[in-house]
Structure 1
Amino acid sequence: MLAPTSTMADDENGHDGLAEGPEDDQPMSFFDHLTELRSRLMRAVGSVALGFAVCYAMVDQLTQLLLKPYRDAWWRVVDADMASLGYSRLPDTGPQLQNLTAFESVLTDISIALIGALFIAAPIIFYQIWMFISPGLYKREKRLVVPFAGTSALMFAAGAVFCFYLVLPVATEYLLTYPLNKDMGGEDAKEAVRIIANYTYTDYIKYTTRLLLGFGLMFQFPLGVFFLAKAGIITHKTLLRHWKIMIVSFFIIGAFLTPPEPVSQVLMALPMCGLFFASIGIAYLVGKPERERMAKLDAELAGMADEDEDD
């Protein structure tokens, strides 16, 4: 009687190559998955709650940070506007944002603290997400969970930094100058109505945090492609075949994640296009060892077939 044999992949991935559960290498039932999901959610929510407490205690400092792009853009616009009128001295008063209701400032502070908590808790949140996914992975893929969680958090932060220093200054200055350049009614002062930028505090914070979160999530794309390519789900050829659809999709996603104006949409869609083509290179490099292995296997099979024909 012949003893059952096992391949290296089976030894590495578990019996019959199936992914196994985290405890005692046993398959997980539906209710086990629900229990695991509840546990991961509780830990993620707990980390966000702790981060919220920290951020709310320093909400004034966070607000100053978020207001910096607006303040800098406002002074650039005023400087250019005054220079065009022949004035060299800037006004004594700085930029202003309105509160339209009594509790608007309180609710906005809570929103700022919550967004800050998401950034602080990002490493824990991404770790919990990857740990929840890990029971469905092969053993060789489970080894990547911790590096993936850390890289996800770093890419999330990198997206926010990219947005804060490169996108927000341009987008905010556009929003400030666009209405300032509209004089309705012609040159007659009695008929002219000048449309000026007079934004609210809440609208600006929503606009800023929406862009920061959108870019943070956008920078997860290459990591997702790396994981899918590593798992053999997609290849660089798959991405190349659908590049036109992906480009259109990025502009649609940009329209959803950004305020309803074209500059922010384009400023988000263009980096997404760049990340997409970079991801094609990532998928190519990740799939290269597998392609070489398959080419070697095909050559061996072809050699065996030639030997059989000679016999």
Structure 2
Amino acid sequence: MSEPQQSGFIAHLVELRNRLMRSLLCVLLVFVVLVYFANDIYAFVAAPLLAHLPANSQMIATDVTAPFFTPFKLTLFVAIFAAIPFILHQVWSFIAPGLYQHEKRMLIPILLSSVLLFYGGIAFCYFVVLPIVLSFFTGIGPEVMTLTPDISSYLGFALKLFFAFGIAFEIPVAIMLLCWSGATTTASLKQKRPYIVVGAFVVAMFLTPPDVLSQTLLALPMLLLFELGLILAAFYSAKSPQEEKQ
């Protein structure tokens, strides 16, 4: 590697480090702002469960430190989720100088839509999926049983669902990128639709808790989003490698 190339490589590493540090600092600042409301944030996330608990039931903590650390853990995840637009902006600022003009015009709306879809997936999970799933599980047990869920276990359950639905809602963006880059075509994806249906349920099985209801509630939106991705991808085609920067 020549000296100019080595200097350029080091400069890229320094810039990458600076942008990573800015992203971490943003997460830390958001966390510091939200940490005062840690208990309120946990109460908001636990509201769908509390709404379906029997009148004589309440949540418990089986670990001595859980009442302190569990809300803090949730607040950290909320800070990361809230900082995603800034983090993506840092990613964009790092890669944008090496992109063609048509690539910039393509990726800007994709980055924005990916953020909105991720948040949309979390909102869909909180307002639609959690009430259905929790209503099913809290009502299926024997009457002699008193349900007293652990706060840490519920947090892990909820975060896993939030993450699964947030990622699953990125399917239209993934399909658009694949078709736009030339890796595949909408016609090819349509031919593979039966395999994709099976794959959606397999992916849902790994991303959600081990129950058929959660898996189905994730797989069905994934299939609908796949169809939406095919519609949107039809407006894009692979760009010629001969296109030059403007």
User: TM-score normalised to the size of structure 1?
Assistant: 0.67
Map 1:1-311 → 2, pairs under 5 A: 31=10, 33-74=12-53, 78=54, 91=55, 93=56, 95-134=57-96, 137-180=99-142, 194-287=144-237
Corresponding letter in the other structure for 1:226: M
In the alignment, is the contact (CA less than 8 A) between 1:157 and 1:216 conserved in 2? yes
Change (3 A) 1:146 1:43: farther
In the alignment, is the contact (CA less than 8 A) between 1:127 and 1:145 conserved in 2? no
In the alignment, is the contact (CA less than 8 A) between 2:41 and 2:71 conserved in 1? no
In the alignment, is the contact (CA less than 8 A) between 1:158 and 1:219 conserved in 2? yes
Higher relative contact order (CA 8 A, sep 6+): 2
The number of aligned residues is: 234
- Which string of whole-angstrom CA distances, capped at 9 and with x for unpartnered residues, describes residues 265-287 of structure 1? 11111111111111111122324
CA RMSD across the alignment: 2.5
Deviation of 1:248 after TM superposition, in Å, equals 2.5
Deviation of 1:118 after TM superposition, in Å, equals 1.8
Larger radius of gyration: 1
Identity %: 31
Change (3 A) 1:130 1:200: same
- Which string of whole-angstrom CA distances, capped at 9 and with x for unpartnered residues, describes residues 44-93 of structure 1? 2222111211221211221121111112222xxx4xxxxxxxxxxxx5x4
Give the Cα separation in 2 of the matches to 1:38 and 1:252: 37
Deviation of 1:257 after TM superposition, in Å, equals 2.0
Which sits farther off after the overlay, 248-257 or 271-280? 248-257
Q: Which ranges in structure 2 are unaligned for 5 or more consecutive residues?
A: 240-246
Q: Which ranges in structure 1 are unaligned for 5 or more consecutive residues?
A: 1-25, 79-90, 182-193, 291-311
User: TM-score normalised to the size of structure 2?
Assistant: 0.83
Give the Cα separation in 2 of the matches to 1:219 and 1:36: 31
Q: Give the corresponding residue for 1:87.
A: none
